[in-house]
Amino acid sequence: MQIIYFDNNATTKIAPQVLVKMNETYQMPLNNSAVHYFGRLATKFIEDARKEVRKLLNAQNYEVIFGSSATEATNTLFQGCNAKKILISQIEHASAYSCRPHEKEVSEIKVLDNGVVDLEDLKLHLEKISDPNFLVSVMFANNETGALQPVEEISKLVHQKGGLFHCDIVQGVGKVPLDLEKINADFASISAHKINGPQGVGALLMRKGLDVKPLIVGGKQEKSKRAGTMNTAGIAGFGEACKITTAKISEYENVKKLRALLESEIKKISGDNVKIFCEETPRLPNTCFVALKNCDAQTQLINFDINGICVSAGSACSSGTVAGSRILKSMGVDSAFSTSAIRISLAPENTKEEVDKFIKVWSEFYERTKK
């Protein structure tokens, strides 16, 4: 059976050019701490990749600190920044949402029912702040709903109050135009495996002149901001992925058309029993977060899996119980829908034939299970 992969917000297929590059670097004993030939070569691979990351994000004025993931990048910042207070939105990815350093006060900014961070609530939080030693972290696009966040406006409000702004740009990169200078972010987290690069590589971007204490201490790699022998092959692959990402962005026009087809067909089939979240909100062109009323997400996932289609749930299964999506709960969605949401996330590699198959499987399932 041909497997259809519609879970590209979880991870993407590694690009052939990335594999070629990584294979080339894996042939050599590369450690950039060494002073010999291979040390210099490792440095070249890493610095070339750094240039590509900067180029992709218009981040010439940013330090790029390579690490294992976007999760590590965000943790490094939250743990290692000088801020005494951190404001995060209710819809942040777990990598930010779960990171609550003991010595820092963390507060949550509310979200509107359209999936967008509530700017009025942010303003209320900011009014109460007297010490400018604070950090605000809001993602560029939500990984479940795809909803784009007003990050430029947030950044402006934060700076007016003297604070610093961090943006988790993981899901936006490559899918929509994204420019760090335009956002005016002080920090950003990025992950290679969401843009056809390897897993286990990410970076923290930090405006030049700012500082952060390392999360991982030891050697002096990455200007003492992240210790440990560097993942040269992974970083080289990340650089290669950045190169192809810019070229691929125009392909998302077609991805958007495929999503429109998928959404209009499932609405035709299931009518009022289906709810597409953030449908009217500016969102990523590839993401469809949809719920079939009172039909739990796991049952739907299993049915798609049996039919060779990979999608994911917006809900986490813990100790045998299905907990509804935290993101949907924060948007005020009731449990009849929040426990039955599945996420379909497309990529330029997906085809109309694959979407047609998805619709067929949806339709058969709906007819079988409708009450």
- Which residues are catalytic, by number? 317
Question: CB-based contacts of 232: which residues, under 8 Å, 6+ apart?
Answer: 25, 30, 31, 32, 42, 45, 46
**Are 205 and 178 a contacting pair, CB within 8 Å?**
no
Least separation in angstroms between CB 193 and ligand PLP: 6
Rounded Cα distance, 206 and 198, in Å: 22
Task: Show Cβ contacts of residue 51 under 8 Å, excluding neighbours closer than 6 positions.
Answer: 239
Piece of the chain touching ligand PLP by CB under 6 A; list 35-43, 167-175, 265-273, 314-322: 167-175
CA 131/CA 123 separation, integer angstroms = 15
Q: At what angle do helices 119-128 and 151-160 cross, to 10 degrees?
A: 20
- What gap in Å lies between CA 222 and CA 358, rounded to an integer? 45
Minimal distance, residue 194 CB to ligand PLP, in Å: 7
Among the listed residues 56, 88, 154, 170, the single contact to ligand PLP using CB under 6 A: 170
Cα distances from 3 to residues 67, 136, 265, 310, in angstroms, run 32, 41, 21, 7
- Least separation, in Å, of the C-beta of 39 and ligand PLP? 27
Candidates 41-49, 65-73, 122-130, 252-260: pick the segment binding ligand PLP (CB under 6 A): 65-73
Please report, as residue ranges, which positions from 188 to 217 form the binding site for ligand PLP (by CB under 6 A): 191, 202
Q: Which residue, 270 or 312, has its beta carbon nearer to ligand PLP? A: 312
Looking at residues 300 to 339 of the shown chain, list those that interact with ligand PLP (rule: CB under 6 A): none
- Minimum CB separation from ligand PLP for residue 227, in Å? 19
Q: Which residues ranging from 85 to 104 are in contact with ligand PLP (CB under 6 A)? A: 93, 95
Q: Cα–Cα distances in Å, from 248 out to 242, 243, 245? A: 10, 9, 5
Question: Is the dihedral angle over the CA atoms 348, 352, 356, 357 positive or is it negative?
Answer: negative
In this chain, which of 12, 25, 69, 273 binds ligand PLP, going by CB under 6 A?
Answer: 69
Residues 217-236 that bind ligand PLP (CB under 6 A): none
The piece of 63-71, 110-118, 127-135, 293-301 that touches ligand PLP (CB under 6 A) is 63-71
Compute and round to an integer the Cα radius of gyration of the chain. 21
- Which residue in the set 64, 136, 139, 311 belongs to the binding site for ligand PLP (CB under 6 A)? 139
Binding-site ranges for ligand PLP (CB under 6 A): 69-71, 93, 95, 139, 143, 168, 170-171, 191, 202
